[in-house]
């Protein structure tokens, strides 16, 4: 004999199946057709910077920055130097644009000291930090060496930069903006200029990509997927298709 | 026995369609073949702008609205407009309305079409049709045009050819009005001949449809053409631009028999004079083109130019090797969008590369593509690319 509860459960199962069928029948099944919208000349490609002239730096500042990026990335058998690669141009265009104005950031007070992981917390925009930092650096080298930074020997320039980095030199900056922070800002931006796409002004001729073997904005490696343990043979390509 | 008869009668009753509905359905199919929606819009209420070398024409409202449409036409008025290019009151139509082709429609088809158009939802929409430049805006000029160029000769049936060929000849040269775009025009905008050897219009090159291997459809099979017209894509090419609209509103809704008829007829067209042959003395362009192709094109179209199911091939693609490069230059500069049909619903798009490639690079790439993988066509010059870039920017 069948257990009553089991019979019941069978009945309720059938009932619920019927209910499901009704529900499914009334549910709105829709098939969407048509295609995604498209318009000619669509896309917002980045605009390459004009490589000529200075947009933010005055001539003295530009010469100092060019000297600094050349000490960060000296020309050698691996790559041309930072100046030849356009790192100073990159920094100049960044400071003249949105980055320089910190337009992406909340820049109203109160300004409180932050943790090291929180980045710069002061009221100076990057443009303001460069302006103040370069003036203070000029004051320092003219007081100490009676010369502008760019006129120092490579060894003296390294000495000054190492001093900023290691805390041995304190420029007359502002509370909340240390000399080490100024050093790190310049180093960071120089690296960006060196490795970013050439359209931003640095990485001229994709020198850094050639140095490290980065193929750039290529997007089809199907011919090479099976070639294990073989170096990729093709040189880099920039966003604008330069080879 | 009685039951069987009863069942049969019942079945017939279900199958039989009243004569009125039959003519309406047949008329709807005639509207599809004639691609009326292509110019008059999905609702047939007009308003679609047509750029002609003589200025702008805007398509008229052909819904049965009494004030703004053709609600006051009689069946005879409709026939006169379709086959003679004359609207009620003697108003001359412009041959952008392809009456030189519709003139070949038989009475039955015209009646069906008219019966269908009467059932369309009337839309009240006033259209300022004639926006042509002086003196083309004077409709009286069409009298002279008709006298010079409008001599519709009946499409002769050729008993030596198959029924499909004859049906194809009728469709291509009649209601489907392929020549309206694909036949070269004289300075008056009339077809120079009925040969479908291709021509530039509206910033596109309507391809050569003759049997030439490179300039035309010589390398395409009947199946390739049927698939292309029916779905918007085949293993040869994809329809975009004005042809995408033709596929969407017309050919994708045609019967397979009719598409086959068109293909059989087109495949029998004698080859045109070709595209001028392979580019010569362009080693430098070809080399630079190969490098640039690899970077900007190969990911989708393949290093072998064979494309894939959703990326059109460039090898053996007749659109690539037309005598003039309008379509492909435009495609590279502005991008493109293939038609989406129920059978090929993807409608893949090609991005604009005009921001990234200068005129020299585009010319190099296209010269390379036109002369690689078995393709043969004259080189594309940077000047041509520059001219097309300029005209696309100015929106004409």
Q: Give the model's pLDDT for residue B61.
A: 95
Token pair of B287, please?
A: 């080399």
φ, ψ of residue B279 to 5 degrees: the values are: -65, 140
Strand locations in chain B, DSSP E? 49-52, 55-58, 86-87, 91-92, 130-132, 199-201, 204-206, 336-337, 349-350
Closest CA to A69 of A56, A59, A84: A84
B62-89 confidence digits (pLDDT tens): 999 999 999 999 999 999 999 999 999 8
Higher pLDDT, A55 or B186: A55
Closest CA to A54 of A45, A70, A65, A69: A65
Nearest residue of A to residue B354, measured between CA atoms: A41
Q: Is the pLDDT of residue A18 over 60?
A: no
Nearest residue of A to residue B339, measured between CA atoms: A35
User: How many whole angstroms separate alpha carbon A16 and alpha carbon A8?
Assistant: 12
Nearest residue of B to residue A43, measured between CA atoms: B352
Instruction: Taking residues B117-146, report their average pLDDT.
Output: 85
B35 alpha carbon, distance to own chain's centre: 9
The distance of A207 to chain B (nearest Cα, Å) reads 19
Within 8 A of B358 by CB-CB distance, chain A residues are none
Query: Counting one residue from A and one from B, how many pairs have CB atoms under 8 Å apart?
Result: 48
Q: Is the pLDDT of residue A26 over 70?
A: no
Instruction: Give, in order, the Cα–Cα distances in Å from B37 to each of A68, B61, B130, B179.
Output: 67, 11, 19, 17
Q: Give the model's pLDDT for residue A32.
A: 67
The pLDDT-based confidence of A2 (bands split at 50, 70, 90) is very low
If one counts every other C-beta atom within 10 angstroms of the C-beta of residue B273, the result is 12
Q: Give the model's pLDDT for residue A23.
A: 54
CB contact B334 to A (< 8 Å): yes
Nearest-CB residue to A41 (from B335, B337, B345): B335
Q: Is the pLDDT of residue B152 over 80?
A: no
B171-182 confidence digits (pLDDT tens): 999 999 999 999
Q: Is the pLDDT of residue A194 over 50?
A: yes
- The percentage of residues in chain B with a pLDDT greater than 90, rounded to a whole number, is 70
Q: Is the pLDDT of residue A49 over 90?
A: yes
Closest CA to A86 of A182, A192, A188: A192
B106-125 confidence digits (pLDDT tens): 899 999 999 999 999 999 99
Instruction: Give, in order, the Cα–Cα distances in Å from B190 to each of B40, B157, B222.
Output: 21, 24, 29
Instruction: Taking residues B191-201, report their average pLDDT.
Output: 83
Q: Give the model's pLDDT for residue A5.
A: 45
The distance of A118 to chain B (nearest Cα, Å) reads 38
Q: A175 with A139: CB under 8 angstroms?
A: no
Q: A193 with A69: CB under 8 angstroms?
A: yes
Q: Give the model's pLDDT for residue B156.
A: 79
> Residue A5: CA atoms inside 13 Å, Cβ hemisphere, count?
0
Closest CA to A201 of A243, A157, A235, A240: A240
DSSP-derived secondary structure for A164-194: HHHTS---S-BTTB-HHHHHHHHHHHHHHHH
Most A CBs within 10 Å: which of B356, B359, B394, as the mutation test of the A interface? B356
Judged by DSSP in three states, A217 sits in coil
- The percentage of residues in chain B with a pLDDT greater than 70, rounded to a whole number, is 95
Nearest-CB residue to B356 (from A36, A42, A45): A45
Closest CA to B374 of B315, B328, B317: B315
CB contact B8 to A (< 8 Å): no
**Mean pLDDT rounded to a whole number for chain B:** 90
CB contact B396 to A (< 8 Å): no
The distance of A231 to chain B (nearest Cα, Å) reads 19
Q: B119 with B150: CB under 8 angstroms?
A: no
A181 alpha carbon, distance to own chain's centre: 18
Q: Give the model's pLDDT for residue B154.
A: 76
Q: Is the pLDDT of residue B14 over 80?
A: no
The pLDDT-based confidence of A1 (bands split at 50, 70, 90) is very low
Most B CBs within 10 Å: which of A31, A37, A38, as the mutation test of the B interface? A38
Q: Give the model's pLDDT for residue A22.
A: 52
Instruction: Taking residues A52-62, report their average pLDDT.
Output: 97
The pLDDT-based confidence of A106 (bands split at 50, 70, 90) is very high
User: How many whole angstroms separate alpha carbon B186 and alpha carbon B338?
Assistant: 30
User: How many whole angstroms separate alpha carbon B186 and alpha carbon B316?
Assistant: 30
Q: B316 with B370: CB under 8 angstroms?
A: no
φ, ψ of residue A143 to 5 degrees: the values are: -75, -45
Q: Give the model's pLDDT for residue B317.
A: 94
Q: Give the model's pLDDT for residue A4.
A: 44
CB contact B340 to A (< 8 Å): yes
Contacts of B307 (CB under 8 A, 6+ apart): B300, B301, B313, B314
Q: Is the pLDDT of residue B1 over 60?
A: no
Residues in chain B, how many? 396
Q: Is the pLDDT of residue B396 over 60?
A: no
User: How many whole angstroms separate alpha carbon A119 and alpha carbon A116?
Assistant: 6
Interface of A with B (CB under 8 A): 33-36, 38, 40-43, 45, 218-220, 223, 237, 239-241, 243
The pLDDT-based confidence of A128 (bands split at 50, 70, 90) is very high
Higher pLDDT, B1 or A239: A239
Token pair of B286, please?
A: 């070809």
Q: What are the structural domains of chain B? A: 18-149 (1.10.760), 163-267 (1.10.760), 283-393 (1.10.760.10)
Q: B319 with B224: CB under 8 angstroms?
A: no
B241-255 confidence digits (pLDDT tens): 999 999 999 999 999
Q: Is the pLDDT of residue A16 over 70?
A: no
B48-59 confidence digits (pLDDT tens): 988 888 888 899
Place of tokens 């790190």: A184
φ, ψ of residue B207 to 5 degrees: the values are: -65, 155
User: How many whole angstroms separate alpha carbon B85 and alpha carbon B145?
Assistant: 11
Token pair of B146, please?
A: 């008709």
CB contact B95 to A (< 8 Å): no
Within 8 A of B345 by CB-CB distance, chain A residues are 33, 35
CB contact B216 to A (< 8 Å): no
Q: Give the model's pLDDT for residue B94.
A: 87
The pLDDT-based confidence of B209 (bands split at 50, 70, 90) is very high
Exposed e or buried b for every residue in A26-45, given b needs 16+ CB within 10 A?
eeeeeeeeeeeebeeeeeee
Token pair of B334, please?
A: 């502005």
B352-371 confidence digits (pLDDT tens): 999 999 999 999 999 999 99
> Residue B222: CA atoms inside 13 Å, Cβ hemisphere, count?
15
User: Where in chain A are the domains?
Assistant: 59-214
Q: Kindly compute the dihedral angle of the four CA atoms of residues B126, B129, B135, B140, in this order, to the nearest 10 degrees.
A: -90
Nearest-CB residue to A41 (from B295, B296, B334): B334
> Which helix or strand (DSSP H or E) is residue A70 part of?
helix A59-72
Q: Is the pLDDT of residue B45 over 60?
A: yes
CB contact under 8 A, B352 and A40: yes
If one counts every other C-beta atom within 10 angstroms of the C-beta of residue B170, the result is 21
Token pair of A164, please?
A: 């900023």
Most A CBs within 10 Å: which of B231, B248, B292, B295, as the mutation test of the A interface? B295
A30-48 confidence digits (pLDDT tens): 766 667 788 888 888 888 9
CB contact under 8 A, B334 and A220: no
Q: Is the pLDDT of residue B2 over 80?
A: no
Place of tokens 């920039």: A238
Nearest-CB residue to A218 (from B295, B303, B340): B295
The distance of B346 to chain A (nearest Cα, Å) reads 7
């Amino acid at each position: 004999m069948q257990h009553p509860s089991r019979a019941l459960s069978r009945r309720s199962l059938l009932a619920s199946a019927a209910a499901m069928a009704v529900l499914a029948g009334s549910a709105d099944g829709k098939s969407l057709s048509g295609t995604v919208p498209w318009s000619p000349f669509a896309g917002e490609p980045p605009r390459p910077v004009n490589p000529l002239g200075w947009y933010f730096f005055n001539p003295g500042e530009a010469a100092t920055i060019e000297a600094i990026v050349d000490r960060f990335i000296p020309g050698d058998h691996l790559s041309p130097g930072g100046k030849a690669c356009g790192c100073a141009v990159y920094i100049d265009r960044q400071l003249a644009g949105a980055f320089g104005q910190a337009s992406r950031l909340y820049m109203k007070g109160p300004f409180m000291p932050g943790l090291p992981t929180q980045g710069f917390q002061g009221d100076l925009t990057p443009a303001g930090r460069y302006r103040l930092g370069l003036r203070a650096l000029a004051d320092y080298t003219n007081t100490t060496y009676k010369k502008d930074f760019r006129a120092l020997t490579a060894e003296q320039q390294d000495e000054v930069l190492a001093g900023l980095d290691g805390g041995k030199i304190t420029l007359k900056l502002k509370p909340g903006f240390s000399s080490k922070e100024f050093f790190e800002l310049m180093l960071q931006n120089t690296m960006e200029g060196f490795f970013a796409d050439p359209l931003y002004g640095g990485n001229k001729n994709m020198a850094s990509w050639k140095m490290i073997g980065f193929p750039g904005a290529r997007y089809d490696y199907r011919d090479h997927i099976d070639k294990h343990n073989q170096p990729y043979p093709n040189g880099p390509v920039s966003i604008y298709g330069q080879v | 026995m009685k039951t069987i008869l009863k069942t049969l009668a019942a079945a017939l009753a279900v199958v039989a369609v009243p004569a009125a509905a039959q003519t309406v359905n047949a008329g709807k199919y005639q509207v599809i073949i004639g691609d009326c929606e292509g110019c008059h819009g999905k609702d047939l209420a007009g308003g679609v702008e047509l750029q002609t070398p003589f200025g702008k024409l805007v398509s008229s409202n052909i819904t049965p609205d009494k004030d703004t449409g053709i609600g006051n036409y009689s069946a005879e008025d409709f026939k006169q407009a379709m086959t003679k290019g004359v609207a009620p009151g003697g108003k001359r139509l412009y041959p952008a309305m392809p009456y030189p082709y519709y003139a070949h429609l038989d009475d039955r088809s015209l009646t069906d079409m008219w019966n269908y158009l009467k059932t369309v939802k009337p839309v009240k929409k006033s259209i300022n049709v004639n926006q042509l430049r002086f003196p083309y805006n004077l409709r009286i000029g069409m009298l002279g045009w008709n006298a010079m160029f409008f001599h519709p000769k009946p499409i002769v049936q050729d008993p030596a050819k198959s029924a499909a060929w004859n049906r194809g000849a009728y469709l291509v040269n009649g209601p489907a009005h392929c020549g309206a775009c694909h036949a070269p025009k004289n300075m008056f905008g009339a077809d120079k001949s009925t040969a479908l050897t291709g021509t530039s219009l509206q910033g596109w090159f309507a391809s050569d449809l003759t049997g030439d291997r490179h300039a035309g459809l010589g390398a395409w099979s009947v199946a390739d053409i049927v698939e292309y017209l029916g779905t918007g894509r085949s293993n040869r090419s994809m329809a975009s631009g004005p042809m995408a609209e033709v596929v969407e509103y017309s050919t994708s809704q045609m019967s397979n028999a009719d598409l086959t008829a068109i293909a059989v007829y087109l495949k029998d067209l004698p080859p045109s004079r070709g595209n001028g042959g392979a580019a010569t003395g362009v080693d430098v362009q070809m080399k630079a083109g190969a490098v640039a192709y690899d970077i900007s094109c190969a990911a989708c179209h393949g290093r072998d130019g064979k494309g894939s199911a959703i990326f059109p091939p460039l090898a053996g693609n007749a659109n690539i090797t037309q005598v003039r490069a309008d379509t492909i230059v435009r495609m590279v500069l502005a991008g493109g969008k293939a038609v989406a049909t129920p059978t090929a619903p993807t409608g893949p798009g090609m991005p604009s590369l005009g921001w990234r490639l200068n005129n020299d690079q585009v010319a190099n790439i296209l010269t390379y593509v036109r002369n690689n993988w078995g393709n043969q066509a004259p080189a594309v010059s940077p000047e041509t690319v520059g001219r097309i870039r300029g005209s696309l920017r100015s929106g004409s």
